[in-house]
Amino acid sequence: MTSQRYPWHASTWQRLQQSRARRHHALLLRGKQGIAKLEFANTLAQSLLCQSPADDGYACGHCVSCSWFVQNSHPDYRLLTPEQEDAAEPAAASKKPARKSTQISVAQIRELAGFLELSSHQNDGLRIVVIHPADALNQTSANALLKMLEEPPADVIFILVTSHPQRLLPTIMSRCQQLEMPAPSEAETLAWLEQQGIKDAQYWLAYSGGSPLSAAEAAAGSDKMQLVPARLALGQKLDPFGSASEFAALGMEEATTALQKWLYDLVAVSLGAVPRYHVRDSAALQALGKSVDLSALLTFQRQVDEARRSASHPLNNELQLEHLLLQYSKLFSG
């Protein structure tokens, strides 16, 4: 489990330390996507469980509790995410293709009850439940959680994390101490990316829509990520079948997102604006923009948005991509 510290977390950390004496039993961490809110929640969880935290509040990193934590085996810590639902049900048993769940189920919340009834494994210790992303709770699981928040078990702290607080039940929000985590400025983000040894930080930041973590991730997989613009720049010469299998290998979500970004820029350039994501591919986009059928492009863009929304269904990904890329190659004339 990572407990890397990010410079843009410092002010939130200090605010929390100042209010430590009046500790709330439920915290809601909110803020922009891609600023490491979950990592912050975990850093906080580790420090709350640590047997001898430092003066600045951070975990010591070497007590028994900290070693459990870094090995992902702390008995007083639970992380609820949508993925765990599938992990409980082996793919072999169900023969269905593994599907990334998008919801935190009521069964997951009910399983917490057992955890909450136990006392801490450490003397006078706390138990911590991190829920990420909290907007993945559905109506039923949110109501089940609300009951727990209304009658909080002693010495349990809930940390809810979300980029979309407007999707949470207002009754859940009102039970939590809310902390708005600031996003780093562009200069701060670029400095951080360069510190991580990322070349072309500016390019990757634009490509990722301004999020530091997504930029770092995209840069790390840059060979993969450059494949999409390289193929799409071929326009009507694109081989939809060969490219579909290459794109499918990136994962449907990744591939359709990359396709969306390219189309966004192609529309922008066709309308005389500058590209937002592919700042290095301006010339290729300009060239394509001259031969594209704009109204067909806009229709196609909606189809890709539709495909992006159903990207968690794994069936026939490659077939679907073939179909999309074939249509893409037909958008251009001569």
The footprint of Zn ion (CB under 5 A) covers: 50, 59-60, 63, 66
Residue 59 or 225 having the CB closest to Zn ion: 59
Amino acid at 205: L
Closest CA to 193 of 32, 3, 2, 8: 8
Q: Tokens 């999409």 identify what position? A: 228
Q: How far is the CB of 160 from Zn ion (least distance, A)?
A: 24
In the complex with Zn ion, the residue whose CB is nearer, 70 or 287, is 70
What's the min distance (Å) between Cβ of 46 and Zn ion? Answer: 7
Please list, in sequence order, all residues whose beta carbon lies within 8 angstroms of the beta carbon of residue 155, skipping any fewer than 6 positions away: 119, 120, 124, 125, 126, 127
Q: How far is the CB of 57 from Zn ion (least distance, A)?
A: 12
The C-alpha atoms of residue 244 and residue 206 are separated, in whole angstroms, by 25
Name which of 43 and 208 has its Cβ closer to Zn ion: 43
**Which lies closer to Zn ion via its Cβ, residue 54 or residue 107?**
54
* Ramachandran sector of residue 95 (left: φ over 0; alpha: ψ -120 to 50; beta: rest): left
Q: Which helix H or strand E contains 148, and what residues bound it?
A: helix 139-150
Judge contact between 45 and 127, C-beta under 8 A. no
Closer to Zn ion at the Cβ: 4 or 166? 4
Pick between residue 42 and residue 317 the one whose CB is nearest to Zn ion.
42
Smallest gap from residue 262 Cβ to Zn ion (A): 47
Shortest CB 70 distance to Zn ion, Å: 10
Structure-token match 């700042």, residue found: 279
CB of 51 to Zn ion, least distance (A): 5
Q: C-beta of 280: minimal distance to Zn ion in Å?
A: 45
What are the CB-based long-range contacts (under 8 Å, 24+) for 225-233?
225/258, 228/255, 228/258, 228/259, 228/262, 229/258, 229/262, 229/278, 229/281, 229/284, 232/259, 232/262, 232/328, 233/281, 233/284, 233/285, 233/288
Whose Cβ is closer to Zn ion: residue 59's or residue 157's? 59
Nearer to Zn ion, 60 or 296 (CB): 60
Report, in Å, the least distance between residue 52 CB and Zn ion.
6
- Choose between 59 and 136: whose C-beta lies nearer to Zn ion: 59
In angstroms, what CA-CA distances link 287 with 25, 234, 266, 300? Answer: 57, 10, 10, 19
Instruction: Measure the CA–CA gap between 150 and 175, rounded to whole angstroms.
Output: 7
> Using an 8 Å Cβ cutoff, are 213 and 194 in contact?
no
Which residues, 6 or more positions from 143, have their beta carbon under 8 angstroms from its beta carbon? Answer: 169
Enumerate residues 6+ apart whose C-beta is below 8 A from 10: none
At its nearest, how many Å lie between Zn ion and the CB of residue 124?
15
